[in-house]
Amino acid sequence: MRDIVQRSKDLKLVFSVDNVQKQPAFLCHCCGCCCDIMEGINRHGYPNAIVSSSLMPRVVMEDCNGCQKCGRACHVSAITMIPDPMQAGTKRMFKPVINEEQCIGCGVCGLVCDPDAIKMVKRPQHVIHPETTFERVILQCLERGTLQNQLFDEPDRVSHKVMRGIVGGVAKGAAEMVRT
């Protein structure tokens, strides 16, 4: 098992486990070009496709040489390299900017950073890891407003269509009340 994990690390793959506390259902070694979940984040802009880690990369700008390796290595395109006018005339022409909503906290950017300018730190907001896969699915459905699709999952039945509409409307109204 350690050999597999080390090989994933060497290949700069995202090591992803079903982010639950008990009995994880899957273990993946993902890249941005082949993984459907990563592709969903990249292509469709849905950053909540997975429960992110409790970590977030932070760039120590004094140590960054602007090599752009971190931006190229990020499997979810969360790092953008922008021109750094403050460094005109120096080696560092670009600086990394991390989209914290898009970042899943995998740490691949830190692995490729030669000057070790990227440090993984705890996220400011606490990530609550569901206890089971069932709880994860339900929480994701509540977050996305799609719980009715799990409860009434036969699209051809009229009763399921009606109930999906009713439950979806009630859930949407409740979510709006909570926000205000």
CA angle 16, 80, 4 (to 5 degrees): 25
Q: Summarize pLDDT for 21-57 with one digit per residue, the tens.
A: 788 777 888 888 888 888 888 887 776 667 678 899 9
| CATH class of the structural domain 2-122 | alpha beta
Per-residue pLDDT of the chain (180 residues; tens, 9 = 90+): 788 888 888 999 988 777 777 887 778 888 888 888 888 888 877 766 676 788 999 999 999 999 999 999 999 999 999 988 776 666 678 899 999 888 989 999 999 999 999 999 998 876 677 888 888 888 878 777 788 888 888 878 888 888 888 888 887 777 677 666
Whether this model's pTM surpasses 0.85: no
Does residue 48 sit in helix, strand or coil? helix
Say how far apart CA 147 and CA 73 lie, in whole Å. 35
Q: What is the three-state SS of 144-180?
A: HCCHHHHHCCCCCCHHHHHHHHHHHHHHHHHHHHHHC
| Among 4, 110, 8, 133, CA closest to 60 | 110
Give the residue extent of every domain in the chain.
Answer: 2-122, 145-179
